[in-house]
Structure 1
Amino acid sequence: MAVACGLCAGGNYYNQALLHSIALHFGVDQAAAGLSVTVAQVAYAVGLLCITPLGDKLERRRMAVVLMLLAAVGHALVGWSGSFAMFMLGTLVAGLFSVAAQVLVPMAAALAAPGHAGRNVGLVLSGLLVGILLSRSVAGGLSTLGGWSLVYQVTAVAMAVMALCMRRVLPTSRHPQPLPYAQVLASMGHLLRTQPALRQRTLASALAFAAVSVMFATMALVLSSAPLQLSDAQIGLVGLAGVTGALIANLAGSWADQGKSHVLLRLGAALLLLLSWLPLWWGQASVAWFVVGVLLMDLGLQAINVTNQSSVASLLPEARSRMNAVYMTGYFAGASAGSALGVWAWNLAGWQGACSVGAGLAALAGLSVWRGVRWSQRQALGQAQAA
């Protein structure tokens, strides 16, 4: 399931490293080729809202397999496309159905033995994270071997094989709910209104991802400028420092199962996410400090995300997919807002402006985390007194 999530998530990021080659192949300008990035992201967002909630209605193993096969069809359309229109259609199909990864995350929690849901979610999310972080490097390597289309051809075959493996290995869901589709979608708003823990954890994670997105949106700008003046390949290697987040993801899940979620949230928000902006500030003139900042930031984000997502998955077992859809929609909405704010701050005040905005968002995330922890502790105390 972790490998499947990595394939699904990474496939949406290949085009970011291949835009120049794609533009040359189809004879379009880079702005037109760049639309594929937007198409993939928008299609993924639509899939989160409209497809992943069906995990509470349909049998999850079959749903994940079908979605992954459809995503493989999208990558095949891209890899063997004869026109730019077919390329864009394949990008849309692949992005829309790559939400198979977000069907597998709540399924991992549902399949867990008692007390191990956090570990399962952490392990699956670590695969997703590694897929995203390695996607650009894999795309560049395969493109060097056989051109940009080879990247998508290999991915299409790999995803089809993985889908068949999942069909063979994974158990079937035990309690699919025969809810009308309209009711499934409408219930997501009801869950957001009636589940304060869902709102708090979604807000905290959205603010945390927004802070991180400020950095990723402006990283290439600062590292390619004087005095560092790094090349695209060197900048990509700096970004790979975030792969350490995959290590903390699994550890964070295990800690959450042991009742240490409050410690993880406070550590991630206060000590790592916020303090990471200090070495990033110094990183304008030092690659070493920048790498330290990326490491701390990614560790902090994963500590917050894994803890919150595993907690959301356990709130209402009968609504895991819908709860996860609400959470992930808010999570990526925060990322989009952070990217926009980061570019705005860079245009206004350069790297210092971006760091100030990012640190401000990290502080808001920390405040949200601390308020959420205190609320949870009061709820637990009230329940204990009532008992």
Structure 2
Amino acid sequence: MSADTGTTAQQQTIGRARTLLLAVLCGAAVANIYYAQPLLHTIGAAFGVGDGTAGLLVTASQVGYAAALALLVPLGDLLERRRLVTVLLAACAVVLALAAAAPGFGLLAAAIALVGVTSAVAQIAVPLAASLAGNHERGQVVGTVMSGLLIGILGARTVAGFVAEFGGWRWVFGAAAGLMVLLAVVVRLGLPVVPPTETATYPRLLRTVLGLVRREPELRRRMALGAVGMGCFTILWTSIDFLLSGPPYGFGPAVVGLFGLAGLAGALMAPLAGKLADRGHQRLVVTLGLVALAASWSLLGLGGVSVVALIVGVVVLDLAQQALQISHQSVIYALAPEARSRITTAYMVSAFLGGTLASAAVAVIYPAGGWLGVCLLGGVVALVGLGVWFLPRT
């Protein structure tokens, strides 16, 4: 029996407490792969490596995350989800502790890649929330949970910056390990058992992901747009540390981390975008979001000399990305309700491959072209997204 049944889809409701728990879980889990971003300059100096090499830590976390999206997240349809979430949170605590104790850069990169793998538990929690919610509230619930995810991504920068400023970068990963242990306990006590929706073998389960991609043209379109949005998001947050740490700004980790607060405005967009999705306005949200995403890079380009333009550009980009993400997920979760974890896998693998390619491109382009070079890259990626959106439907 599907987790969407039990009463009826309309009568079913997830409840505020469980929605908030899943939002916190998503935020705390996904934050793990972003703690390093405002610390790249500091970590590089500690291990004697350059900014370009330090930037590969972001690539390592994204590669690990993308691999888990492809291989672990589909298990959300095959296994009991509360137990799966609890096990992954405990494993995440272990590898975060390893990152905190890493004696060299290579071992740190390996540990951070494993942090990326286990932190994909956030993407098991999102379809879990969609399954527990009723049809009448699903968009808003997903929007709230995704608000938690965005707060985690951007709040991670602020938290990491302050902790590193006053206690050193290793304390960031140590504290995160403790938080994962606490969440594992709370999830075990606070969430219901959620039966699997699939009985296939694991290899067949993975093959059905490809079947969904082949069968659903709208899923393919949203996958491409997800890659564009995550690419722009990653270009900004991978490179902004280098801009703010060097001339003309020269900020320390704590101040660099504060810039994550500017992006938190995007979290305010999530519930609104979710409500618009519930009311059938996804196309308007995507069109406006892609236009804003492209426009944000003009403001960010001026941010090399103007901190005001930089902050406004950050706010616009993150508002656009959050609105786009909610609209995409609202649409794809309606395509195959019995396969929401696999739908998530297809969409998020595409999105994070886009982010991985973007972070690798930043590692090459920033040393050669500086801040304007990465802003040009971001603008081109955003324009590609507009082109994809306006291609004829098939």
**Post-superposition shift, 1:340?**
4.0
Amino acid at match of 1:297: L
Which residue among 26, 48, 62 is the counterpart of 1:29?
A: 48
Q: Aligned-residue CA RMSD in angstroms? A: 2.8
Matches within 5 A, 1:58-69: 58-69=79-90
Question: Which position in structure 2 is the counterpart of 1:321?
Answer: 341
Question: Which position in structure 1 is the counterpart of 2:314?
Answer: 294
**Post-superposition shift, 1:370?**
3.5
Question: Which position in structure 2 is the counterpart of 1:383?
Answer: none
Which residue among 124, 128, 133 is the counterpart of 1:107?
A: 128
CA distance in 2: counterparts of 1:209 and 1:313, whole angstroms: 19
Amino acid at match of 1:110: S
CA distance in 2: counterparts of 1:367 and 1:309, whole angstroms: 20
**Post-superposition shift, 1:212?**
3.5
Question: Which position in structure 1 is the counterpart of 2:215?
Answer: 194
CA distance in 1: counterparts of 2:383 and 2:110, whole angstroms: 40
In structure 2, relative to structure 1, the CA distance for the partners of 1:84 and 1:201 (3 Å cut) is: closer
Q: Which runs of 5+ in 2 are unaligned?
A: 1-21
**Post-superposition shift, 1:364?**
1.9
In structure 2, relative to structure 1, the CA distance for the partners of 1:93 and 1:195 (3 Å cut) is: same
Matches within 5 A, 1:1-387: 1-18=22-39, 28-30=47-49, 36-79=57-100, 90-223=111-244, 228-233=248-253, 234-270=255-291, 272-342=292-362, 346=366, 350-371=370-391, 375=393
CA distance in 1: counterparts of 2:215 and 2:266, whole angstroms: 32
CA distance in 1: counterparts of 2:324 and 2:196, whole angstroms: 30
Maintained 8 Å contact 2:244/2:256: yes
State the TM-score, normalizing by the size of structure 1.
0.85
For the residue of structure 2 that corresponds to 1:292, the secondary structure is helix
CA distance in 2: counterparts of 1:36 and 1:143, whole angstroms: 16
Hey, which of these two has a bigger chunk of helix by percent? 1
Amino acid at match of 2:233: V
For the residue of structure 1 that corresponds to 2:390, the secondary structure is helix
**Post-superposition shift, 1:343?**
5.4
CA distance in 1: counterparts of 2:370 and 2:57, whole angstroms: 28
In structure 2, relative to structure 1, the CA distance for the partners of 1:93 and 1:343 (3 Å cut) is: closer
CA distance in 1: counterparts of 2:225 and 2:188, whole angstroms: 35
Moved more, 280-289 or 89-98: 89-98
Question: Which position in structure 2 is the counterpart of 1:385?
Answer: none
Which structure has more RCO (C-alpha within 8 Å, separation ≥ 6)? Answer: 2
Maintained 8 Å contact 2:55/2:238: no
In structure 2, relative to structure 1, the CA distance for the partners of 1:52 and 1:281 (3 Å cut) is: same
Maintained 8 Å contact 2:86/2:184: yes
For the residue of structure 1 that corresponds to 2:222, the secondary structure is helix
Which one has a bigger Cα radius of gyration?
1
State the TM-score, normalizing by the size of structure 2.
0.84
**Post-superposition shift, 1:314?**
1.9
For the residue of structure 2 that corresponds to 1:259, the secondary structure is coil
CA distance in 2: counterparts of 1:196 and 1:121, whole angstroms: 22
In structure 2, relative to structure 1, the CA distance for the partners of 1:35 and 1:355 (3 Å cut) is: closer
**Post-superposition shift, 1:244?**
0.8
Query: Structure 1 vs Structure 2: percent identity of aligned residues?
Result: 37
